[in-house]
Chains A and B, each alone.
Chain A
Amino acid sequence: MATKVTTDFFMGSSDRSNSIEIDSLVENLLKTRNALLSCPIDGIIEWLDAFARRLLNRANPIHHQFPDSGIPYLASWCRRSNLELLLGTCFQDLRCLDDFVSLGRSDRMVRAFPRGLVVHWMAGNVPTLSFLSLLMGLLTKNVNLIKVASGSPPFLAALLKHLSETPGQRCSGQQLIHSIAVIRYDHKDEEIGATLSRYADVRIMWGSDESIQSIRALPVKPQVNDVAFPHRTSFIILGEEFLDKVSLGPLTRRVARDISIFEQSACASPHTILLLTKDKAKLADFAESLQDALEHILQDFPKASPTPQETAAILNLRARYDMFHEAWYSSGTEFTILADDFWQLGPPIGNRTVYLRLFSDIDRLPEIMTPHVQTVGLAVSPKDFSRIITILGAAGVHRFATPGTMTQFDSPWDGYFLPHHLVRWTSFPLSAIEPRSDS
């Protein structure tokens, strides 16, 4: 059976290597479990914080190697303050990852142990996600095996190379780095997928509904824990009080950022903007301001070239909207703003294409909800804010964000506090270690 894979990163080396047996690869990774477990969480955080400082150095060649891959953002994620906030939100007391703690109980002590091997199946749409997914596994002291999309650039391996060169103070960076492997293989190869899946204690799946279904169908250990991040889309709601023509600029710049980053292929990228007003003139003002903002942001986020089919789809929409509705767009295929009278979300087109729609009744929002909605960007009055988050939260929205920050990876994400799913809890009663008073 062909169960060999190509490695982007393995045994601390980012030299790409062909034909590594999965069995041998996993065996090597699992050897690092004890070293990981004995490493204090504060030592891991310290190591990642030092890595963040290396990344933030603009002289670091990785900035030139992967210029638009969100490296400063990743660095900010690895800062001590952020990691402590992330883990603190999940576990109350970070020491539970190192030892038994009370977590506020007077009768029991608990400890969060790693589940073992976390296998991450990554999608190719958002390059930063593979590293962030890995971080979750590392911070919970798991061994991590990341399968990246076969056509994706070696971004994760490049980051890990820099991480491997970061010395640890209380933890050996070399030991930690040996617990990570990055591989790639043809996703259609079910034998390799099945072998990996059998080893996994946790399967983290990022991708389309179809690809997640195919991973879910692979054989697993009975106690495996699955975390899936399937197809998601997002939208924005803007209140009338934010739509005054004179003050639109800052708002549309933030919206343009959400639309432009990751070429609108992230779960949290907005594809529809709902304007809470009946005033069509406000829609036109907003569209023109957004057009300026999208044009301006091209300097910071140059447009990736669409495929001919995507170009055809964009031009088709533009032509149809010019003929039957309204459209604003760039001279090339860089961005497209469409306006119509439909009451629905999207459909998502991508390539910086967004629909503008007016609405006036907040209570009707659940009508357009789909199971795919992840994030809603909100800029509305406090009163409307409260109603909208209650209505849409109940209707399935996982996250609300301020325009301009929609695509920033957060915890919880897609409804999960991810680190929670990567540990298993062990407890014992305090009475077991107290002196017995039996006579």
Chain B
Amino acid sequence: MSFAYLNQLLKQPLYGLSSAEKQPLFLNALKEVSRHHYQNCRPYAKFCRKKGFDGDNFTEIYDLPYLPTALFKDTLLLSVPENEIFRQLHSSATTSGRPSQVALDKDTNRRQSFCFTKTIIERLGNQRFHFIVLDEPSTIGRDGVLSARSSTVRSLLFLAKTVHTCVDSVNGGLSLDQEKFESLLNSLGNTHSNLIIFGFTFILYFHVILPLLQAGKTYRLPGAKILLIGGWKKLEAQKVSRQKLIQDCCRCFGVKPVDVIDLYGFTEQGGMIYPTCEAGNRHTPIWCEVIVRHQTSLEPLGSGESGLMQFITPIQTSYPGHSVLTEDIGQIIGVDDCPCGRRGTTFRITGRANLATEVRGCGDIMAENFALSI
């Protein structure tokens, strides 16, 4: 299938169109892709028919059915023949212990790479950086089935002039190789504007920043960018807020908050990446939209109201991941009006509700544990 509307959409500027300009282009591409999934993924078609949806009979994005991201933990859905799949992505499974799995054909993989690359360059600048990856060396190696972590690290390295890892596995835990880290910093001299320190939040915080700060060790790296992604669920569990993480980042590395860039994305819609902008917000690019839904009624909510985040994008054509409802809580901040100048829907992720409760009931249930028993 050619996906003419989708290809046309991908040629548009990332954040350049107003919402009104974007909507018809986006809807056409979405209908095209939705129809494709309906015609080529039998379970998805049955799911849609149950909702009176025949693939493209919608005029508003709110009317497009959505799949919960949890579905991808148990079910491998395909909208292309199995022999066209050349890569499977697995999530890190930090919350439920069960990884999501999605299958990519070459076209989807290419589009995901394109979208990812374009978004990252737009935020970081089109130049080469010295990358210090705060992770194990294996994360920049090659493997058949990629973990989401190593896939993410590798996908960023197209911007790398040099790349080094500075964290080692020690007795089953992770530990910063401080000597190597400082030696790398010294080799860069006093110019840090082409330095990116990249880390998954829980490794960066618990295995690097916290030990350094506890040891009274801080650096002055003005102009360097600290790039964070994922893993914040583990920080939440340890009661470390996002603000605290950014503060400690700045204190440890001597950078400004604007240079701490937090990336948000999820495996079920690979390639979609949402960096925080200079104003601390996230933006939907031309190929994506976001809806916030009420946690009980599931009805769409307005700006400023917190609820479950639904992401819609037509770029996945190998599996019906074009409209997914995540377990993340967030809110829409505005449309086309962010102080940073980017257009599109502006949103923030505020976290997940805390499930931790005390002694649960005598008829207690563990909703998340149900799936594997069926």
Q: Which residues of A contact B51 (CB under 8 A)?
A: 322
Does B359 make an interface contact (CB < 8 A)? yes
Total chain A interface residues with beta-carbon distance under 8 A: 62
Determine the residue in chain A with the shortest Cβ distance to B44.
A323
Contact A319 B67 (CB under 8 A): yes
Residue B43 contacts which of A231, A308, A323 (CB distance < 8 angstroms)? Answer: A323
Complex Cα–Cα for A208 and B369 (A): 15
Name which residue of chain B comes closest to A355, CB basis: B374
| Complex CA distance for A309 and B139, rounded to whole angstroms | 29
A308 touches B71 (CB 8 A): no
Inter-chain contact A323/B363, CB cutoff 8 Å:
no
B43's nearest neighbour on chain A, judged by CB, is: A323
Question: Are the C-beta atoms of B361 and A349 separated by less than 8 Å?
Answer: no
Report whether B361 and A124 are in contact in the complex, using a CB–CB cutoff of 8 Å.
Answer: yes
Asked if A324 meets B43 with Cβ closer than 8 Å, knowing A306-B295, A312-B70, A347-B373, the reply is yes
Partner of B46 from A312, A322, A331 at Cβ < 8 Å: A322
Determine the interface band of chain B, counting residues with CB < 8 A from chain A: 35 or more
How far is B96's CA from A54's CA once the two chains are assembled, in angstroms?
A: 47
Q: Answer whether A231 and B367 are a contact pair too, CB < 8 Å, given A307-B355, A308-B308.
A: no
Whether B297 is near chain A, meaning CB under 8 Å from some CB there, is yes
Contact (A208, B374) CB under 8 Å given A308-B308, A333-B296: no
Residues in B with CB closer than 8 Å to A344 are: 373
* Contacting residues of chain A (263-279) with chain B, CB-CB under 8 angstroms: 264-269, 271
Q: How far is the CB of A375 from chain B (nearest CB, A)?
A: 10
Nearest to B42 among chain A residues (CB) is: A323
Is B359 in contact with A334, judged by CB distance below 8 angstroms?
A: no
Smallest beta-carbon distance A266→chain B, Å: 5
**Bound Cα distance A348, B329 (Å):** 25
Q: Mark A221-243, 1 if CB is under 8 A from B, else 0.
A: 00000000111111000000000
Tally of A-B Cβ pairs under 8 angstroms: 173
CB nearest neighbor in B for A304: B296
**B352 CB contact (under 8 Å) in A187, A308, A332:** A308
Known contacts A312-B69, A322-B50, A323-B44; decide if A305 and B359 are in contact (CB<8 Å): no
**Most chain A beta-carbon contacts within 10 A, residue among B70, B96, B359:** B359
**CB within 8 Å of B: which A329-359 residues:** 331-334, 340, 342, 344, 346-351
B325 x A315 contact (CB < 8 A): yes
A310 close to chain B: CB less than 8 A: yes
Is B43 touching A334 in the complex (CB atoms < 8 A)? no
Would A334 and B364 be within 8 Å (CB), given that A308-B353, A312-B69 are in contact? no
Q: Which of A187, A320, A342 contacts B75 (CB 8 A)?
A: A320
Whether B359 and A123, one on each chain, are in contact in the complex, defined by CB atoms closer than 8 angstroms, is yes
Residues in A with CB closer than 8 Å to B46 are: 322-324
Q: Pick the contact of A347 from B294, B296, B363, B374 — CB < 8 Å?
A: B374
A340: chain B residues within 8 A (beta carbon) = 374
Tell me whether B215 is interfacial, beta carbon within 8 Å.
no
A308 touches B327 (CB 8 A): yes
Question: Considering only CB atoms, which chain B residue lies closest to A348 in the complex?
Answer: B365
CB distance from A69 to the nearest CB of B (A): 15
Contact for A311 among B47, B71, B327, B373, CB less than 8 A: B327
The verdict on A121 contacting B359 (CB below 8 Å), with A265-B365, A316-B71, A323-B44 known, is yes
List the A side residues contacting B236 at CB < 8 Å.
Answer: none
A-chain residues with CB within 8 Å of residue B329 when the two chains form the complex: 308
Given contact pairs A308-B327, A323-B43, A342-B374, A313 touches B359 in the complex (Cβ within 8 A):
no
A121 to B298, CA, bound (A): 36
Interchain CB contact under 8 A, A150 and B353: no
B328 within 8 A of A: yes
User: Which one of B44, B96, B297, B362 lies within 8 Å of A123 (CB-CB)?
Assistant: B362
Cβ contacts under 8 Å, A208 to chain B: 359-362, 364
Residues A207 and B360 in contact, CB atoms below 8 Å apart: yes
Contact among B50, B328, B370 for A313, CB-based, below 8 A: B370
- Minimal beta-carbon separation of A413 from chain B (angstroms): 10
- B22 CB, min distance to chain A CBs, angstroms: 27
Flag whether B368 is at the interface (Cβ < 8 A).
Answer: yes
- Asked whether A124 lies within 8 Å of B358 as measured between CB atoms, the reply is yes
Contact: B363 with A265, CB < 8 Å? yes
Question: A322 contacts B47, CB within 8 Å?
Answer: yes
Docked CA distance A30–B297 (Å): 50
Per-residue 0/1 for A86-119: is the Cβ within 8 Å of any B Cβ (1 yes, 0 no)? 0000000000000000000000000000000000
Residues from chain B with Cβ under 8 Å of A121 in the complex = 359
A10 CB within 8 Å of chain B? no
Q: Does A125 contact B (CB under 8 A)?
A: yes
| Set of chain B residues within 8 Å of A233, measured between Cβ atoms | 363, 365
Q: Are B358 and A151 in contact (CB under 8 A)?
A: yes
Chain A residues in 8 Å Cβ range of B337? none
A126 within 8 Å of B by Cβ?
yes
B50 touching A327 by the CB < 8 A rule?
A: yes
A56 close to chain B: CB less than 8 A? no
- The 3 lowest CB-CB distance pairs between A and B, nearest first, are A125-B361, A323-B43, A315-B68
A-B contact pairs, 24 of them (CB 8 A): A121-B359, A125-B362, A149-B357, A150-B358, A208-B361, A229-B362, A230-B362, A264-B365, A265-B360, A265-B363, A266-B361, A267-B361, A305-B295, A308-B329, A309-B95, A311-B68, A312-B326, A315-B325, A319-B67, A322-B50, A332-B299, A333-B297, A346-B370, A347-B365
> Besides the contacts A123-B361, A123-B364, what 4 more A-B pairs have beta carbons closer than 8 Å?
A125-B361, A150-B358, A208-B362, A331-B297
